Structure 1
Amino acid sequence: MRPLLLLLLGAHLAYAGTHSLKYFYTAVSGDIDFPEFTAVGLVDEGQFIYFDSNTKEAVPKTEWIRQNEGADYWNTNTQGLIGAHQTFKNNIQVAKERFNQSTGVHTNTVMYGCELDDDGTKRGYELHGYDGEDFLSLDISTLTWTAANDKAMITKVKWDSTGAYAMQEKAYLENTCIEWLQKYVVYGKDTLERKVSPQVFLQQKSSSSQVTCHATGFHPKAVTISWQRNGQEHHEDVDLGELLPNEDGTYQRMSTIRVTPDELKKNQYSCVVEHQGETFTKIVTDDSLPIGIIVGAVAGILVLLAVIGVVVFKLMQKKKGTDFKPVNPSDDVSNDS
């Protein structure tokens, strides 16, 4: 079973010339100092709207959405997310009963969104998780749900019985979501389509630890980081980190290489960063390796797992017995976001 955190951080980040609209939501149950329900919306990995069950208000997180949408937009989203809070409270209770859990902290998460490439290619996805692991995911091509475990099979069978929910999600993700993404890109054009070159740093924690190449502050998000040994491409003992957003709307990414001090003395290692047709090369030398821990302006990875989504839900027609209720971005209020 693949951990949901890895899925959230790694999904849908690799395409050049791509704009994305993504929503995260999460419910938390248990003794924890965190809102019971949170919702976040992101355009191109940058947060533009936020809601939680403590404040009970959807609020703008960028100037471009604040300046282009009025009171109706915010009121509509607020009311829809208040309703979504109740849906998620129900769902997390159902999950706890299925997993026979009566104590502890538990989370119920959903991520969905769409992407649009420069050539017109569209993609959509919807992923449900429980306690940080996969639970259900939508297969748009077959209009069916994939269950990650036997507890999720109960919901899969119900949702697949008519196929109505999957069809509604497909229509939303491939049409309405794309339309709003295009609108948001126009709103935030100066920010979302700006071009900023990366700053590139080399660093390691100690003389015997791995060397880290850190590219940060770049926009758009498409970037390539590679290593060379004596001028030739080198792939051994290299790890490429995830693309992550900075708080200012730019991006950062790291790559590490494991190499002994003796190898560093005998060979020349270089980090090569390519972005928007520019190439930045950093040669590993004693002077280029300050000792310390890299601290990036990442917009909280743990928050990204726990703080989830915006858009708006509406309960589908209630069914007899307890079961997960679909969160339906294609209905009513969600069409406004």
Structure 2
Amino acid sequence: MKGFILMFLGIVHLHEAFGAIHSLMHFYTASSDIPSFPEFMVVEMVDDVQMVHYDSNSQKVVPKQDWMKQTDAGFWESEREKFFHSQQSFKVEVHILMQRFNQSGGVHILQYIYGCSLDNESEQKEGFGQLRYNGENFLEYDMNDLTWKSLKQQADFMQDKWNSDSSRLVFWKIYFTQTCIECLKKQVVNGKSILRRTVPPSVSLLQKTPSSPVTCHATGFYPSGVKVVWIKDGQEHHEDVEYGETLQNDDGTFQKSTHLTVKPEEWKNNKYQCVVQVTGIKEDFIKVLTESEIQTNRGDPAPNFVPIIGGVVALLLVVVVVVVVGVVIWKKRSKKGFIPASTSDSDSENSGKGAQKI
């Protein structure tokens, strides 16, 4: 299980320019033999913000944003039924794939990821669809020839099955070029108070012991686009610097850390600064490396910065676990796409989601 947790910690942010690119993404995740973790989860996101959550433990669809809560109860009940059906299908599929890979047990994860993006400046539209098994690309939808592509021999049977339905393949193209984009535009308008907000970071310099790296920790900022760099005597400094990933906090904001390994006599004889720049905020946030600025846990059994980082790890296991792998792929801006089977009017009008079938 430890290997899977580490794999999921590699989150990257979606937007190269704030407000320029918007995305609507859906993540279906089935797992086996992970203690105290749901066997099935659904997370749906617009931009960096989670809209909907479902898991097999509660078997409830939970709208996560106020603008989503305005949708009528009948729609959410139909979504619950759809997700419950997918839950049963995914559970069966995990066992089928285990047999295909000659696996008798252990931790296994199947992810079904699809969505679309729209560049407001260039009007470029993209669709994305992929099936992943144990963190590896397994099956992808090719928007160019409207077919599924097997990426592993064990996926050939799925490729043949899914490509045999020509009408469904055409529907996926229509969804990506029209339905998904229309739903994305609607969600961006409905959620503009959240999606277009900016929140400045809180920046701290942290160090465990005098010989430990100095960590520049920025947290509480939004959107996720951020640059956290060390400056030495007016120049960007990259030597002995380790850059952490951007992680999401439980309130929807983000955090990021950058670690500098430097001897005390070195930073005392030179001017070191940590500079944080958040997309959409003109102001730079700067901390000068001095002894008085460093927060440390020397002699303090419960340092004030440990709960901040630890809390996010717990959140990742509940939410980001179903998001990170797909986001990393999305970063590559693939032109492959993928869409569910349902074509109901309620799906199109509310969120662009459809019944998930493998």
Whether the TM-score (by the shorter chain) exceeds 0.5 is yes
Equivalent residues of 1:109, 1:308 under 8 A apart = no
CA contact under 8 A between 1:46 and 1:245: conserved in structure 2?
A: no
Alignment equivalent of 2:343, drawn from 321, 332, 335: 332
Give the secondary-structure state (helix, strand or coil) at the position aligned to 1:329.
coil
| Rounded Cα–Cα distance in structure 1 between residues aligned with 2:178 and 2:261 | 45
Distance 1:185 1:219, change over 3 A: same
Q: Distance in 1 between matches of 2:10 and 2:186?
A: 24
Aligned CA RMSD, in angstroms, stands at: 3.0
> Closer, same or farther in 2 for the Cα pair 1:142/1:65, shift >3 Å?
same
Q: How many residues align?
A: 317
SS in 1 for 2:57: coil
Distance 1:303 1:96 in 2: 24
Give distance in 1, aligned partners of 2:178 and 2:316.
Answer: 29
- Alignment of 1:150 with 2:153, yes or no, is yes
Distance 2:221 2:9 in 1: 23
SS of equivalent residue, structure 1 residue 88: helix
Paired residues of 1:13 and 1:243 also in contact (CA < 8 A) = no
Q: Does the alignment pair 1:257 with 2:268?
A: no
Report the Cα offset of residue 178 of structure 1: 2.1
Q: Which runs of 5+ in 1 are unaligned?
A: 310-326
> 1:229–1:59: structure 2 CA closer, same or farther, 3 Å change rule?
same
Task: Give, in whole Å, the separation in 1 of the partners of 2:143 and 2:235.
Answer: 42
Indicate conservation of the 8 Å contact 2:14/2:48, yes or no: no
Determine which of 267, 288, 291 is the counterpart of 1:286: 291
Q: Deviations over 1:179-199 (max 9, x none)?
A: 222222222222221222222
Give the gaps of 5 or more residues in structure 2. Answer: 298-304, 325-337, 352-358
**1:229 shift after superposition:** 0.8
Q: Helix, strand or coil: the match of 1:59?
A: strand
TM-fit CA distance, 1:86: 2.2
**Structure 1 residues 178 and 254, CA, compared in 2 at 3 Å: closer, same or farther?**
farther
SS of 1:195's equivalent in the other structure is coil
C-alpha distance in structure 2 between counterparts of 1:23 and 1:198, whole Å: 28
One-letter code of the match for 1:51? Answer: Y
> Over residues 236-279 of structure 1, what are the superposed CA-to-partner deviations in whole Å (9 max), with x where a residue is unaligned?
23333332322222222222223233422332211111232111
Letter in 2 for 1:331: S
Give the Cα–Cα distance (whole angstroms) in 1 for the partners of residues 265 and 162 of structure 2: 59
- Match in the other structure for 2:330: none
The answer on 1:215 being equivalent to 2:222 is no
- C-alpha deviation, 1:32, in angstroms: 3.2
Measured against aligned partners, the alpha-carbon deviations of 1:67-98 in whole angstroms (never above 9, x if no partner) come to x2112321221121122112212221211111
| Cα 1:305/1:148, change in 2 over 3 Å | farther
- Cα 1:94–1:164 change in 2 (3 A) is farther
Distance 1:138 1:21, change over 3 A: same
Any conservation in 1 of the 2:216–2:259 contact (CA below 8 Å)? yes
Kept in 2, the 8 Å contact 1:171–1:330? The answer is: no
Q: CA 1:168–1:241 in structure 2 vs 1: closer, same or farther (change >3 Å)?
A: farther
**Local SS of the residue matching 1:12:** coil
1:127–1:209 distance in 2 versus 1, CA, 3 Å: farther
Cα distance 1:287–1:31, how it changes in 2: closer, same or farther (>3 A)? closer
Match for 2:113: what amino acid?
M
**Counterpart residue type for residue 244 of structure 1:** L
Question: Which residue is equivalent to 1:122?
Answer: 125
Query: Which residue does the alignment assign to 1:320?
Result: none
Asked if the contact 2:26–2:113 (Cα under 8 Å) also holds between the matched residues in 1, the reply is yes
Question: What CA distance in whole angstroms lies between the structure 2 residues aligned with 1:266 and 1:144?
Answer: 61
- SS of 1:287 mapped into structure 2: coil
Q: Contact 1:38 / 1:308 at 8 angstroms: preserved in 2?
A: no
Q: Distance in 2 between matches of 1:20 and 1:241?
A: 24
| 1:115 aligned partner, one-letter code | S
Q: How do 1:159-178 residues align onto structure 2 when only pairs under 5 Å count?
A: 159-160=162-163, 167-178=170-181
State how far apart, in whole Å, the 2-side matches of 1:231 and 1:306 are.
39
Counterpart amino acid of residue 282 in structure 1: K
Q: Taking structure 1 as the reference length, what is the TM-score of the superposition?
A: 0.81
Matched, 1:196 2:214: no
Contact 1:113 1:125 in 2 (8 A): yes
Identity %: 40
**Number of the residue aligned with 2:315:** 300
The DSSP-based 3-state class of the residue aligned with 1:54 is coil
Q: 1:83 aligns with which of 74, 85, 91?
A: 85
Amino acid at match of 1:332: T
Q: Given the alignment, which residue of 180, 183, 198 partners 1:180?
A: 183
Where 2:78 maps in the other structure, the secondary structure is: helix
Match of 1:60 in 2: 63
Offset of residue 30 of structure 1: 3.4
Matched, 1:239 2:254: no
